[in-house]
């Protein structure tokens, strides 16, 4: 079999690593390396010389480590054995997502929620030798999908850490994370970079694009209930306590029982509800005669405004400003 005079990349599109299929190489042969590539010589499983873009003649001085290892004569066209592996150093664009819900504890309410998240990230191989040895090993080729499968578990492992950090910094419940995607993206890049660096990879960009919660999760519903009650307190002010008492009275009035005691409780509850209703009406009349319609309208507007905030249609700042305007109009 004739010696190899020209070594060049013949891999498929999307391959991050490709190994030249033969290892019987001729001195004074030509090594061709394309732009955004590096070629590494391997001998007995050890990564030796690295060549950047261009055409290189394999002669004395060009492969100093390999020459020393195999004692090449370089007196003419002589053969030597070595493997040549090409590494693609161009930008690699990948996506990530949670295969199953990640359990994250809400630091504000100490309730654990299952969340799903997804996004994208851009990487570049900056240390070809570290990547080839640490990730690829003895394989003949390594595709972009295989790189994705290798890196994604590292992201998922760090996910709960950097999302919890964002929640602590913002001081808001974890259910509000979608309002802090930019901060989550920045924290994610910082968290995963050390893991990627061990394999010669630099994280150029990292994006958290969506965070979702199971709406039927009992823990999620608990937090939503707390947020709703907080909103009512902020919106109604001193009227909140009267509203709560009225709710209790109405609930007691609706309680149907089969004995006299339960019937008496229902009657007392109904009376309490009616009395509280009259009390609230009287207070509202004293504070703002003829203003019942305005307050009902304001409550409806506040409820709609809160719904828009929960759906991410407006920011917290916009919500606070509009809420202040509505309350001032009562």
Which residue reads 């709960």 in tokens?
Answer: 160
- Among 81, 72, 92, 89, smallest CA distance to 34 is for 89
Task: Write down the pLDDT at residue 276.
Answer: 45
Rounded Cα distance, 17 and 12, in Å? 10
CB burial string 71-103: b at 16+ within 10 A, e below: ebebeeeeebebbbbbbbbeebebebebeeebe
In sequence order, the 6+-apart residues with CB closer than 8 A to the CB of 64 are: 49
- Number of neighbouring beta carbons within 10 Å of residue 185: 20
CA 47 to CA 265: how far, in whole Å? 85
Place of tokens 């919500």: 319
Torsion angles phi and psi, residue 210, rounded to 5: -160, 140
CATH superfamily of domain region 92-216: Band 7 domain (3.30.479.30)
pLDDT of residue 298: 72
Residue-level pLDDT at 14: 80
| pLDDT number for residue 52 | 93
Give the rounded distance of the alpha carbon of 148 from its chain centre. 15
List Cβ neighbours of 296 (8 Å cut-off, separation of 6 or more). Answer: none
Q: Where exactly are the structural domains of the chain? A: 6-88, 92-216
Q: pLDDT tens string for the chain (330 positions)?
A: 455 678 899 988 889 999 988 767 766 678 899 999 999 988 777 888 899 999 988 765 566 665 665 555 545 555 667 788 999 999 999 999 998 888 888 777 778 888 889 999 999 999 999 998 888 876 778 899 999 999 999 999 998 888 888 887 887 778 788 889 999 999 999 999 999 999 999 999 999 999 988 777 787 777 777 667 666 656 555 555 555 555 655 565 566 554 444 444 444 444 444 444 454 444 444 444 445 556 667 777 777 777 777 766 677 887 888 888 877 776
Given this model, what pLDDT does residue 118 score?
94
The pLDDT value given to residue 264: 42
| pTM over the 0.85 mark | no
List, in order, residues 6 or more apart from 186 with CB less than 8 Å away.
none
DSSP letters spanning 242-304: HHHHHHHHHHHHT---SSHHHHHHHHHHHHHHHHHHHHHHHHHHHHSTT-HHHHHHHHHHHHH
- Tell me the three state secondary structure of residue 47: strand
Question: Hunting for tokens 């929640």 — which residue is that?
Answer: 167
Q: What stretches of the chain adopt beta strand conformation (E)?
A: 4-7, 15-19, 24-33, 37-43, 46-51, 54-57, 79-81, 83-88, 92-97, 102-106, 111-125, 141-143, 201-213
């Amino acid at each position: 079999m004739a010696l190899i005079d020209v070594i060049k990349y013949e891999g498929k599109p999307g391959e991050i690593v490709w190994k030249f299929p033969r290892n019987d190489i001729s001195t004074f042969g030509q090594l061709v390396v394309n732009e955004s590539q590096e070629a590494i010589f391997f001998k007995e499983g050890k990564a030796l010389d690295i060549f950047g873009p261009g055409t290189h003649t394999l002669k004395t001085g060009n492969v100093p480590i390999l020459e020393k290892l195999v004692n090449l004569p370089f007196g003419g066209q002589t053969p030597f054995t070595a493997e040549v592996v090409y590494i693609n150093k161009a930008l690699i664009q990948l996506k990530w997502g949670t295969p199953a819900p990640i359990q994250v504890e809400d630091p504000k309410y100490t309730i654990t929620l299952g969340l799903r998240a997804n996004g994208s990230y851009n990487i570049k191989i900056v240390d070809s030798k570290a990547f080839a040895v640490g990730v690829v090993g003895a394989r003949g080729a390594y595709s972009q999908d295989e790189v994705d499968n290798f890196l994604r578990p590292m992201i998922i492992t760090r996910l709960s850490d950097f999302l919890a950090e964002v929640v602590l910094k913002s001081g808001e419940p974890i259910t509000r994370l979608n309002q802090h995607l930019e901060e989550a993206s920045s924290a994610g890049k910082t968290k995963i970079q050390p893991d990627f660096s061990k394999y010669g990879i630099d994280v150029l960009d990292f994006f958290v694009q969506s965070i979702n919660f199971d709406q039927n999760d009992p823990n999620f519903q608990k937090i939503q209930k707390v947020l709703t009650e907080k909103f009512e307190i902020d919106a109604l002010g001193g009227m909140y306590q009267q509203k709560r008492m009225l709710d209790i009275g109405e609930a007691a009035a609706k309680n149907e029982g089969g004995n006299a005691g339960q019937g008496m409780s229902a009657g007392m509850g109904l009376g309490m509800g009616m009395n509280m209703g009259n009390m609230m009406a009287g207070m509202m009349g004293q504070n703002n005669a003829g203003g019942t319609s305005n307050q009902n309208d304001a409550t409806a507007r506040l409820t709609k405004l809160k719904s828009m905030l929960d759906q991410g249609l407006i920011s917290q700042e916009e919500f606070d400003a509009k809420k202040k305007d509505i309350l001032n109009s009562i």
